[in-house]
Amino acid sequence: MRLPLLAAACLSLALAACGQGESTPDIDEATGGEEVIAAPTAEMPVDAPPQEEIVPSEAASPGDQAAAGEPGSCLSEVGPQASARLAERCIMVSPATRPPCNAANPCTMIQGEIDRACGQYGPGETKPAECAA
Protein backbone atom coordinates (compact mmCIF):
# COMPACT_ATOMS: atom_id res chain seq x y z
CA MET A 1 0.00 0.00 0.00
CA ARG A 2 2.83 2.39 0.70
CA LEU A 3 4.58 1.82 -2.65
CA PRO A 4 1.74 3.07 -4.89
CA LEU A 5 1.23 6.09 -2.60
CA LEU A 6 4.95 6.91 -2.72
CA ALA A 7 5.04 6.51 -6.50
CA ALA A 8 2.02 8.79 -6.92
CA ALA A 9 3.62 11.45 -4.70
CA CYS A 10 6.91 11.33 -6.66
CA LEU A 11 5.06 11.52 -9.95
CA SER A 12 3.00 14.52 -8.84
CA LEU A 13 6.15 16.32 -7.61
CA ALA A 14 7.94 15.62 -10.87
CA LEU A 15 5.05 16.93 -12.94
CA ALA A 16 4.75 20.03 -10.74
CA ALA A 17 8.45 20.76 -11.16
CA CYS A 18 8.23 20.48 -14.95
CA GLY A 19 5.75 23.33 -15.19
CA GLN A 20 7.75 25.77 -13.07
CA GLY A 21 10.26 28.17 -14.62
CA GLU A 22 9.01 27.37 -18.07
CA SER A 23 9.03 30.43 -20.29
CA THR A 24 9.13 30.85 -23.99
CA PRO A 25 12.21 32.72 -25.20
CA ASP A 26 11.82 35.76 -27.39
CA ILE A 27 12.42 34.56 -30.92
CA ASP A 28 13.31 36.98 -33.69
CA GLU A 29 11.92 35.60 -36.92
CA ALA A 30 13.94 38.13 -38.99
CA THR A 31 17.25 36.59 -37.87
CA GLY A 32 16.30 33.05 -38.73
CA GLY A 33 14.63 32.13 -35.45
CA GLU A 34 17.56 32.88 -33.16
CA GLU A 35 16.84 33.74 -29.56
CA VAL A 36 17.01 37.46 -28.81
CA ILE A 37 18.88 38.34 -25.64
CA ALA A 38 18.58 41.89 -24.38
CA ALA A 39 21.88 43.46 -23.37
CA PRO A 40 21.99 45.15 -19.98
CA THR A 41 22.29 48.90 -19.96
CA ALA A 42 25.66 50.31 -18.94
CA GLU A 43 25.63 52.37 -15.78
CA MET A 44 28.43 54.05 -13.89
CA PRO A 45 28.91 52.71 -10.36
CA VAL A 46 27.88 55.10 -7.62
CA ASP A 47 31.39 55.10 -6.14
CA ALA A 48 33.15 55.76 -9.49
CA PRO A 49 35.51 58.75 -9.58
CA PRO A 50 34.34 61.78 -11.56
CA GLN A 51 35.05 61.62 -15.28
CA GLU A 52 36.40 64.41 -17.46
CA GLU A 53 34.13 65.64 -20.17
CA ILE A 54 35.74 66.36 -23.53
CA VAL A 55 34.36 69.30 -25.39
CA PRO A 56 33.91 68.31 -29.09
CA SER A 57 35.90 71.33 -30.30
CA GLU A 58 38.91 70.25 -28.19
CA ALA A 59 38.91 66.66 -29.42
CA ALA A 60 41.09 65.92 -32.44
CA SER A 61 39.34 64.43 -35.41
CA PRO A 62 40.17 60.80 -36.26
CA GLY A 63 41.70 61.94 -39.56
CA ASP A 64 44.16 64.20 -37.74
CA GLN A 65 45.19 61.39 -35.39
CA ALA A 66 45.62 58.88 -38.23
CA ALA A 67 47.73 61.31 -40.28
CA ALA A 68 50.04 62.11 -37.38
CA GLY A 69 50.19 58.61 -35.89
CA GLU A 70 50.44 57.76 -32.22
CA PRO A 71 53.73 58.57 -30.49
CA GLY A 72 56.08 55.61 -30.89
CA SER A 73 54.26 54.26 -33.93
CA CYS A 74 56.02 53.55 -37.19
CA LEU A 75 53.67 56.02 -38.85
CA SER A 76 54.95 58.84 -36.63
CA GLU A 77 58.57 57.65 -36.93
CA VAL A 78 58.96 57.43 -40.72
CA GLY A 79 55.75 58.83 -42.21
CA PRO A 80 52.80 57.32 -44.05
CA GLN A 81 54.51 56.07 -47.23
CA ALA A 82 57.50 54.37 -45.60
CA SER A 83 55.41 52.84 -42.80
CA ALA A 84 52.87 51.51 -45.32
CA ARG A 85 55.69 49.89 -47.38
CA LEU A 86 57.19 48.30 -44.26
CA ALA A 87 53.80 46.98 -43.11
CA GLU A 88 53.09 45.59 -46.60
CA ARG A 89 56.47 43.79 -46.67
CA CYS A 90 55.69 42.34 -43.25
CA ILE A 91 52.30 41.05 -44.39
CA MET A 92 53.85 39.47 -47.49
CA VAL A 93 56.44 37.42 -45.57
CA SER A 94 54.87 36.69 -42.17
CA PRO A 95 53.27 33.27 -41.68
CA ALA A 96 51.63 34.41 -38.42
CA THR A 97 47.85 34.50 -38.22
CA ARG A 98 47.91 37.88 -36.45
CA PRO A 99 51.28 39.43 -37.23
CA PRO A 100 52.24 42.87 -35.87
CA CYS A 101 52.31 44.25 -39.43
CA ASN A 102 50.52 47.49 -38.65
CA ALA A 103 51.84 51.04 -39.02
CA ALA A 104 50.46 51.77 -35.53
CA ASN A 105 53.17 49.48 -34.09
CA PRO A 106 56.81 50.58 -33.73
CA CYS A 107 58.97 50.11 -36.83
CA THR A 108 61.35 47.89 -34.86
CA MET A 109 58.50 45.50 -34.08
CA ILE A 110 57.44 45.31 -37.72
CA GLN A 111 61.04 44.84 -38.91
CA GLY A 112 61.53 42.20 -36.21
CA GLU A 113 58.60 40.22 -37.59
CA ILE A 114 60.06 40.48 -41.11
CA ASP A 115 63.45 39.27 -39.84
CA ARG A 116 61.84 36.42 -37.88
CA ALA A 117 59.74 35.29 -40.84
CA CYS A 118 62.63 35.49 -43.31
CA GLY A 119 64.92 33.68 -40.86
CA GLN A 120 62.69 30.60 -41.01
CA TYR A 121 63.84 29.77 -44.54
CA GLY A 122 66.59 27.20 -44.81
CA PRO A 123 69.89 27.71 -46.68
CA GLY A 124 68.66 25.96 -49.82
CA GLU A 125 65.20 27.56 -49.88
CA THR A 126 64.30 30.59 -51.96
CA LYS A 127 63.26 33.54 -49.83
CA PRO A 128 60.60 35.99 -51.00
CA ALA A 129 61.86 39.20 -52.59
CA GLU A 130 60.44 41.15 -49.64
CA CYS A 131 63.11 39.57 -47.40
CA ALA A 132 65.90 41.22 -49.40
CA ALA A 133 64.35 44.71 -49.47
Helix axes 80-93, 107-118, angle to 10 degrees: 30
Residue 42 included in any domain: no
* DSSP code of residue 30: G
48 part of a folded domain: no
pLDDT at 58: 47
- Summarize pLDDT for 43-65 with one digit per residue, the tens: 767 777 766 665 554 444 444 44
Task: Work out the average pLDDT over 82-96.
Answer: 92
What total of structural domains would you count in the chain? Answer: 1
Domain that holds residue 79: 66-132
Q: What tens digit of pLDDT does each residue of 93-106 get?
A: 999 888 899 999 99
Q: Which phi and psi (to 5°) does residue 105 adopt?
A: -85, 160
The answer to whether 77 and 110 have CB atoms below 8 angstroms apart is no
Q: Is residue 108 part of a domain?
A: yes
